[in-house]
Structure 1
Amino acid sequence: MKLKKIYAILAFQLIAGGLFAQEQLDSLAVTKLSPLFSQPTLKNNKLVVPQIKGYEVSLIGSDNKVVIDLNGQISQPLIDKKVNVLYKIVRKSDRAFGEIPMKDIVIKGVYGDKGVGEQPFVIPSLREWYGVNGVFQLRPESAIVLEQQNEESSKAAQLLKEDLKKLIGLDLPVRTGEPKAGDIFIGSKGDKALGNEGYSLKIDDVFSIQAPNYNGKVFGTRTLLQLLAQNKKQLSIQKGFSRDYPTYEVRGFMLDVGRKFFTIDFLNDYVEMMSYYKMSNFHIHLNDNAFQQYFNYDWDKTYAGFRLENERYPNLASKDGHYTKAEFIALQKKALRYGVTIIPEIDVPAHSLAISHAIPEVGSRKFGMDHLDLDNPKSYEVVKNIFDEYTKGPNPVFIGEEVHIGTDEYAKSESEKFRKFTDYVIKVVQDNGKKVRAWGALTHAQGTTPVRVKDVRLNMWYNGYADPIAMKKLGYQQISTPDGWLYIVPAAGYYYDYLNTDNLYNNWEPRMIGDITFEKGDPIVDGGMFAVWNDIAGNGISEKDVHNRVFPAIQVLAEKMWGAADQHTSLFTFNQKKKSVIEAPGLNMRGHYAALDPVIVHLNFDSQTRNQMNNEWKEASTTGTQFEKGIKDSGLKFTGETSKLVLPIAEIGEQYTVSFWIKPETNLVGDLFVSKNAKVFSDGKGLGYARDGYQYYFDYTLPINEWSQVSITGDYIGTQLYVNGKLIKDMKPFDVVMPYKDKNNGKEIKYKKVQTLVFPLSEISLKNAILDELKVYNKKLTSQEIVSEFRTY
C-alpha cells in the first residue's frame, strides 16, 4: 500500500513550502509566505505566531501539546524535544484558507542529555527521562503515602495497593503525611500542561508520582508496576526524573463480541491489561452476524449475536451468551477506575441480523435480513427503542459520554435513505446526552441528505468508504482504524491473522489512514484503534486464540499511539525487552511461563507432591488420593468421585507439552484436567477436550489396567496426542466444506476450523486411575523427544 502520500485539505499541494490552500496562490505569494514558517520565533516562553499582511494566522495543531500547547505556551521538557505544529492561514480578501506545518521546532530541555544509566524500559516508553545515580528500593515496610486526603489520589492509591499485592505479594498500607525512604508517594501537583493522562515521576529514595488528574495518577502507577514486575527479586528502580504523556487521546482496541461471545471475565481482564499498557479506549462491538453463504443462504439459520440484556425486546439478547445490564455497567465502572473508557457499539442498519431475528418485520427483503428495512417506519422505532433503553435517563446502561452507532456497509443504492437514517440515530443518541462515534461511510454513501457533524467522531477504516480528506472538509474528527494496517480476522484467510507488528513499529503512526498521511499535529486525528473481527462464526477460534493475536499488537500499538513519532528504541531491542513485560498484575491469559528450565512442573509422587516452577518450590494439594505402585516407584491413586490433585498453575499455553503416565483401572469417564477456560475429558467416544463451546475428540480410548505414557502438545496452530511415543492424532486446522456451491460463481464454499487448546491444569481428577511422572514443559517437544521421554521408563 502507498503509505507516504501526503494530501492537502483542499485543492492543491505545494511540497516545497508545505502550503495547502483552497486555490493555488501565485508564485510571489508563495515566495513571500514560505520562509515565514521555516524558523520559529520563541519569546517569553511562547511560540510566536507569524504575522502576515493580508492573512489571518492561527495555531491549530501540535504533535506535543504538553511542550507547546495551542496557545503557543511552552512547558520546558526535561530533555530537548522536537515539536511539530500546524498553522491555519486565511486570506482576508477571499477567505481562502489552508494549512502550513512548522516542523522540528527544538525546545531546549532542563538537562542537556538523558543523565546517567539506561532509561528504564516500559511500554509505552517514557516520553522524557533524566537519570541520576542510585536506585529506589521498595521494602516490605514501605507504604503508599498521600500528601492529604484527596479522593482521586486515594482511589489511585487503593488500586495500586491491590495490584502490588497481586504482583509481588506485598500488602502496603495507605497513609497521609511525609513519605520515608522506600515509600511510594502520590500527589496532585503535577504540571497542568500534562493534561488528563500525563504525570511526572521523581524517583529518589521515595518513588513520587505527581499528576493533575486521576487518569494520570493511574498511569503513573502502571509505570511503577511495570518497573517492579521486571525486577521482582530486587524490587529496585533506577533513580531519575520523568514526564510522561500521550500524543493522542484515543489509543484503542475494538473487539467483535457479536459474532463470537467473550465472557464478562475476559472483558474485565482486558480492562486491566489495557490500563497496564495505557490504552485508553476499549470499543466493544455488541452485535453482528455471520455470512449467509456458510448457512445454506438461509437468513433464519445464519448465526447472529446481540450481547446485551434488553427488556423492551427480551428475545434480542443471544441465548448462547450475553451480558446483563448490571454486568455491563460494572464493567464500565471498573474501566473508569483503571483509566480506560468503554465504547459500546450497537451496529445498525447493516450487520443487524440479530435485530431482525428478534423483530422480523424490520428486516430488509430487498437487501437481506442483515439489513434493516429503511422504508419501514418500524425500523426507526425499534432502533430508537434499543438506543433509548441503553442511553436515556439519569442512570443509563451506557455510562460513558460516547456511544458507537455502527452505520456502515449498507447498500450503496440507498445512500440517501442511509444518510437520513444515520442522521436520525445520531440525533436519538445525542438527544439522550451522549456524543457519537460511527464507522466512516459517507464517501461510499454520497448524497445530499445532511448528516450531523458536531460531536461525531468517525472510525476511519477504509478510504473508499470514507475519504479522510473529504471527511476533514466536512469537519468530522477521525480515529485512525485503517483495515490494511490494523484489522485482525482470525483464521479467515484475508486481512491479518496476526498484525505485522514489526512493520507497524517501524512505519506506522495514527496520522496514517490508508494511503493518506496527515501532517504531524493535525488536530483532525484523535488517535488510533486496531480491531478484531470474528467474521467466520463457528470456526473454532477461542478467547485464547484471539488473545494470542491481540497481545503482541497491544504491546506495539500502545507504544506507537502514546509516543507516535518519538525516536523509539530499535525494533530489535524493543522485541527483546518487551518479553519481560507481563500482561498485567495477576494476569497470564496466554498461559506463558518463561522459566529457563523447560520443565516447569514435575510431579513424580516418590516422596511428596510438589512442583518446580520458575525455580521455586510450591506445594500442590490432593484430596481423596493415596500413593500406590507407579511406573517408577510410587504413583498417585485417585480413589473415587471426589479425588483430585490441585496445581498452583492454572493452564499452559503458547508452545507446551503435558506428559504423564496413567493406568486406568476402569473406563475413564468424566473431566480429567480442568481450568476455568477448558477441560480435557474422556467419555464413550474416548479422549477429547472442550473450550468456548466446542468439543474435539482424539478418537482414542486409553486401555484398562495397562500403563500408557500420554503426551499432549500444543501451540498457536493446533494440538497433538501421543501415546507411548506414537502420534495418535494431529488436531491442526482443517477445511469445513459446505455441501453446496457458491450461488454467484459455482465455486466450493469452505472455511478453516481451528482446534487449539490452552491446556487446563488447575484441577486433575482421574477416577479409579493411577497417575505418575506428570511433567509440564514450556516448549513443544519434538516427536523424537517424546519417544525419548517414553523410553526413559
Structure 2
Amino acid sequence: MRRVFVLTLSLALGMGLSAAHAQEKEKRYPIIPYPQQLVPLEGTFTISGSTRLVVPANVKTFANEVAQLQALVKQGIGATLKTTAVPFAGNAIVLKQDLTLPGEEDYTLQVTPQQLQIGAKSPAGFFRAIVTLRQLMPVTIEGHTTGQLKAVNIPAMQLKDHPVYAWRGMHLDVSRHFFSVSYLKKFIDLLALYKMNKLHLHLTDDQGWRIEIKKYPLLTTVGAWRELNNQDSVCMQKAKENPDMAIDEAHIIHKDGKTLYGGFYTQAQMKDVIAYAAARHIDIIPEIDMPGHMMAAIRAYPFLTCDGKSGWGKDFSTPICPCNESTFRFAEDVYTEIAALFPSKYMHLGADEVEKTSWAASPLCADVMKANNLKTVEELQSYFVKRMEKFFHAKGKVLIGWDEILEGGISPTAVLMYWRAWVPDAPIKAARHGNQVIMTPGNPLYFDATPDRNSLGNVYHFEPVPKGLTTEEAKSIMGAQANIWTEYIPSEKRADYMFMPRMTALAEVLWTHRQDYAGYLQRLNEQYARLDQLGVHYRLPDLEGFTEDNVFVDKGLLAVKAPLTEMTIRYTTDGSIPGAQSAVLPATLPVTAPQTFKVAAFSPKGNRGDIYTLRYRQEAYAKAIVEKPAKTGFQLDYFRGAFKKTTAITNTPDSTLHTDKVEIPEGLGHGEAFAARLQGYFYAPETAIYSFFLTCDDGGVLYINNREVVNNDGWHAPLQKSGQIALEKGWHPLKVDFVEGGGGYTLKLEYSLKGGALQKL
C-alpha cells in the first residue's frame, strides 16, 4: 500500500507541474490560432535600434510585407530598421524565401537570442508570420503608429505553421444596418490579426442597397435609404438598457420631411477598402442577393417584378422576375460593374429564401417554364441561377450561392454555402455531386445570435466536415465562415461585441484544427489586453456564481469572482445600468431580503461586459414526494404546429413517446414548427438550493414542483437562461415546455448544487 501511495503522490505532483508548465507556455506564446508546430527555446531575441533587417534579393516581390514589418517594429521602438540584402551575422531579422514550403500561406520562424529568421514561399506566408510576431510583442505597441519602447523581446522558438482550410471567413451584412468605411477597415484588421482570409460582404437586401452602380443610380439615391422599421424599434427599445443598441445617428438623414436611415459605398470608397484588405491578404467576396431579398432594388425599379407590384408573400418579400429579359439585363449590368470592381474570383449570388408565389401566378413564367421544360418553380429558380452562373463564367468568376441552390438542380461548378442546419444532408449531397462547399451552419456560426456562456465553446468545438463524408469527399469542404446578420446590430460597438471573441475560436478551428480548448482559453485571456488597446468592444468573459433568478431560505450570499485579474465588477440596486462610477461589488455581499441587483464587469479600458439582472427572492424548501416514482425517464408529448409561446401549447398532444433525457429526439419535427412537453421527476440528493440552466432554440420554460424556475420562452436563437429553487432531499415533479419555430432546435437542461460543476439531468 505504501508504494501505491508514493506513486500516486508522484503522479499528482507531476501533473501539477505539467499544468503549471502548460499555463506558462500559453502566457509566453499566446498565439491565436496556435501554430501547427512550436518548440519553445530558452532566451529571447531583442529588437532594438541596432537590429538589421535582411531582405531577399527579390525584395520587390515582398515590398508590402517588408513595409508591414517595418510599421510593426516602429509601433514598438519608434523607428524602422536599417535594411540590407547582404547576409548579416549579428542581431538581425532575416527574411528568406523558401520555395520548398508547399502552401502559399505556410511559414517558419527560427528565433534564437542571436537572430530571428522568417521563412515563407510567398508574400501571404510572410504576412502570416508577421501577424504571429505581432501577437508575441507587448500589447502596448497597439493603437499608435510610433512607439516609445527601447527594445521589443520575442521569445525564442522553432515554429512551422500552415492552415488546414483554405476558406477562413467572416460575413458582414451592411444592408440591414450600415457600417462606415473606417469600421470595415477595423473589421479587416481584426480578421488579419487572427489569420482569417475571406470577407463576405452582404451588400444588398430588402432594407438597403449599399454599393454604387453607375448604370442604375436610383439603386443608391432611392434604394440605399429607408424609414425606420420594426427592427429599428426593437433596437431602440433595447437601447434603454444597453446603449450599444442605439441606432447610429451618423447614418440618419432628414429629407422631404422624413427621417431616413441608410448609406452606401461609392465605387471609389470600395476600391480603397479592397486594396486595404488585399494588403493584408484578405479576399473580399461581394454578394448581391437575388432573385429574392431585392426590395431595395424593386423600390427603385418596379419593372423588376413579374407584375410591377412589390410587398410580402407568405414567407418572404416579392422577388425579381426570372421570366423577363429586362430582369436579366439588369442583373447582368449590375454584376458587370461588380465583377470589374472586385478582383476576387468569387461572386455570391445569394439565391436564398425566395418567395415564389408571384412566379406561380405569372402567365409569363408559365410560358418560360413550358419553353424550358421546367416542372416546378424550384426548377425555375435553378434556371435563373444557372443562367447567371454562365454569365459569371464569362466574366471569369465562380458563383457562390446559399444552399437553396440545390433545389431544382445545381451546376457542378457552383460553390454551395451551407447554412440551414435543419437540412443536414445538403452539404453531403453537394459534396457527392462534386460541388465545393463552405460550411456556415446557423448553429453555431450565426454570430448575430446573442452569445451566452456556451457560445465560445460551441464555436471552438465546431467540426467543419459533416458526418457521412468519406475522406475523399471531405476534400470538397473548402472551410467555413461565420455570418453576422445585422437586423438587430445597429452600431459598430454592438457588432464588435457580437463577433469578438467568438471569431478567435473559429480562427483556431480553421487554421489549426486541433482541439485544445483549455489552452485556447488561457491564450485568449492574454489577448484581451491587446483588444483593449485596439479599441475593440469585445464581449467580456462571463461572470459566474449566480443565476438570473436566485432564491434564499434564511439569507443569501452574492459572491462573484472576476475571471480576469484586472477586471472590475460594479453593481447597482436602484434599477440603473452600472457605469464607471457605480459601486464596486465586494467579494461577498449578504442578501437578507428580496432584492434586484444589476451587475456588470469593466475592463481596464472601460469596456463594459454583459449587464446581469439578478433577482433574489425568499422561499421555503419545496416538499419532496414521499415515494420513488414507478417509472424512470420522461414522458414527451408532441404537438404539431407553430406555437410562439409555451403558454399556447394545448392539452391534447398529437403523439406521446418516452425519453431518458430532457432533450428532443433527433429527427423529431423534420424542420417544421412544433411544441413538446417533457414530464418526469428530479432527484435532489440533499436539502439545498439548486441552480438550473436551460438552453433553448427556440423557447422553453422549466417547472419544478409546479413552480416556474427558468423562463426562456419565445422564438429565438440558442440562448441559455438560469434560475434557482430550494428543494428538500427527495423526488420532485419536473416539467419542461418547449416550442420550436421551424429549422434547427436546441434543448439542454443542466443543474448545479451549491455552485458546483454543471451536471446534465
- The correspondence of residues 565-604 of structure 1 with structure 2, limited to 5 A, is 565=514, 567=516, 569-570=518-519, 572-582=521-531, 587-590=534-537
Task: Give the corresponding residue for 1:314.
Answer: 217
From 284, 299, 311, the counterpart of 1:342:
284
- Change beyond 3 A, Cα 1:202–1:356: same
Q: Matched residues in 2 for 1:350 and 1:217: separation?
A: 42
Aligned with residue 417 of structure 1, among 377, 380, 398:
380
Deviation at 1:582, TM superposition (A): 3.4
1:348-405 per-residue CA deviation (whole Å, 9 max, x = no partner) reads 11111111111112135484654112233322221111101221xxxx1111211111
Q: Name the CA shift for 1:453/1:472 in 2 (closer, same or farther; >3 Å).
A: same
- 1:201 corresponds in structure 2 to 109
Q: Which residue of 2 aligns with 1:21?
A: none
Alpha carbons 2:399, 2:415 under 8 Å: kept: yes
Tell me the distance in 1 between the aligned counterparts of 2:71 and 2:196: 20
Aligned partner of 2:128 in structure 1 is 219
User: Aligned to 1:371, what secondary structure does the other structure show?
Assistant: coil
**Counterpart residue number, 2:505:** 556
Q: Partner of 2:479 in structure 1? A: 527
Write the letter of the residue equivalent to 2:74.
K
Secondary structure of the equivalent of 2:41? strand
- Whether the 8 Å contact between 1:153 and 1:186 is mirrored in structure 2 is no
Structure 1 residue matching 2:118: 3-state secondary structure: strand
Q: CA deviation at 1:548?
A: 1.3
2:169 aligns with 252
Q: Quick check: 1:269 aligned with 2:223?
A: no
Counterpart residue type for residue 546 of structure 1: A
For the structure 1 residues 134 and 717, does the alpha-carbon distance in structure 2 shift closer, same or farther, using more than 3 Å as the test? Answer: closer
> Residues 500, 751 of structure 1: CA spacing in aligned structure 2 closer, same or farther, 3 A cutoff?
closer
User: 156-165 or 342-351: which moved more?
Assistant: 156-165
Q: What is the deviation of 1:127?
A: 0.8
**Structure 2 stretches lacking a partner, 5+ long:** 1-20, 142-148, 226-261, 357-375, 542-564, 567-576, 583-605, 614-713, 717-761
CA distance in structure 1 between the aligned counterparts of 2:134 and 2:75, rounded to whole angstroms: 10
List per-residue Cα deviations over 1:8-61 (Å, max 9, x = no partner).
xxxxxxxxxxxxxxxxxxxxxxxxxxxxxxxxxxxxxxxxxxxxxxxxxxxxxx
- Taking a change above 3 Å as real, the CA distance of residues 378 and 279 of structure 1, as seen in their structure-2 partners, is same
Residue-by-residue CA offset, 1:715-742 (whole Å, 9 max, x unaligned) = 456799xxxxxxxxxxxxxxxxxxxxxx
Distance in 2 separating the partners of 1:550 and 1:371: 30
Return the match for 2:456 from 490, 502, 511. 502
Give the 3 Å change call, closer, same or farther, for CA 386–498 of structure 1 in structure 2. farther
Identity, % of aligned pairs? 23
Q: How does 1:710-789 map to 2 (within 5 A)?
A: 715=608
Mapped contact 1:144–1:157 kept (Cα < 8 A):
no
Aligned residue in 2 for 1:305: 208
**C-alpha separation between the residues in 2 aligned to 1:475 and 1:423?**
16
Q: Is the 8 A contact 2:421 2:442 kept in 1?
A: no
Aligned ranges for residues 58-457 of structure 1 at < 5 Å?
120-166=29-75, 169-179=78-88, 181-189=90-98, 191-193=100-102, 195-204=103-112, 205-230=114-139, 235-289=152-206, 304-317=207-220, 318-319=224-225, 320-363=262-305, 365=309, 367=313, 369-391=317-339, 396-411=340-355, 414-443=377-406, 445=407, 447=408, 450-454=409-413, 456-457=414-415
Instruction: Report how far residue 256 of structure 1 moved.
Output: 0.4
Spell out, residue by residue over 1:472-521, the C-alpha distance to the aligned partner (whole angstroms, 9 max, x if none).
122110111011111122xxxxx444694432355212224xx7677599
Where 1:357 maps in the other structure, the secondary structure is helix
Closer, same or farther: CA 497–352 of 1 in aligned 2, 3 Å: farther
2:418 corresponding residue in structure 1? 460
Code of the aligned partner of 1:577 = E
* Residue 217 to residue 374, structure 1, CA distance change in 2 (3 Å): same
Give distance in 2, aligned partners of 1:242 and 1:190.
17
2:77–2:152 CA contact under 8 A, matched in 1: no
Q: Is the 8 A contact 1:122 1:581 kept in 2?
A: no
Distance 1:172 1:521 in 2: 48
Counterparts of residues 610-621 of structure 1 (less than 5 Å): none
Distance 1:351 1:592 in 2: 31
**What's the secondary structure of 2:474's corresponding residue?**
coil
Q: Given that residues 146 and 154 in structure 1 are in contact (C-alpha distance below 8 angstroms), is that contact kept between their aligned partners in structure 2?
A: no
More helix by share: 2
Corresponding residue to 2:436 among 471, 477, 482: 477
* TM-score of the two chains, using structure 2 as the length reference: 0.56
Point out where structure 1 has 5 or more consecutive residues left out of the alignment: 1-112, 290-303, 490-494, 595-613, 616-653, 660-712, 721-749, 753-793
Equivalent residue pairs, number = 465
Go from structure 1 to structure 2 and tell me whether the alpha carbon gap of 1:408 and 1:168 turns closer, same or farther (over 3 Å shift). Answer: farther
Q: In structure 2, how many angstroms separate the alpha carbons of the residues matched to 1:312 and 1:182?
A: 57
1-structure distance, mates of 2:82, 2:457: 44
Distance 1:211 1:253 in 2: 25
Alpha-carbon spacing, 1:335–1:262, altered in 2? closer, same or farther (3 Å): same
Question: Per the alignment, do residues 751 and 452 of structure 1 end up closer, same or farther by CA in structure 2, a change over 3 Å counting?
Answer: closer
Q: Distance in 2 between matches of 1:441 and 1:751?
A: 23
Deviation string for 1:749-783 (max 9, x for gaps)? x999xxxxxxxxxxxxxxxxxxxxxxxxxxxxxxx
Which whole-Å CA distance do the structure 2 matches of 1:655 and 1:283 have between them? 36
Question: Cα distance, 1:179 vs. partner?
Answer: 3.7
Q: Residue 117 of structure 1 contacts residue 133 of structure 1 at CA under 8 Å; is this kept in 2?
A: no
Question: 1:576 and 1:139 mapped to 2: Cα distance?
Answer: 28
Residues 714 and 269 from structure 1, CA distance in 2 versus in 1: closer, same or farther, beyond 3 angstroms? closer
SS at match of 2:333: helix
Are residues 265 and 518 of structure 1, via their aligned partners in 2, closer, same or farther at CA, if it must alter by over 3 Å? farther
Partner AA of 2:93 in structure 1: I
TM-score, length basis structure 1: 0.54
Q: What residue is the counterpart of 2:144 in the other structure?
A: none
CA RMSD of aligned residues (A): 3.6
Cα distance per residue 1:240-260 (max 9 Å; x no partner): 211111000011100000111
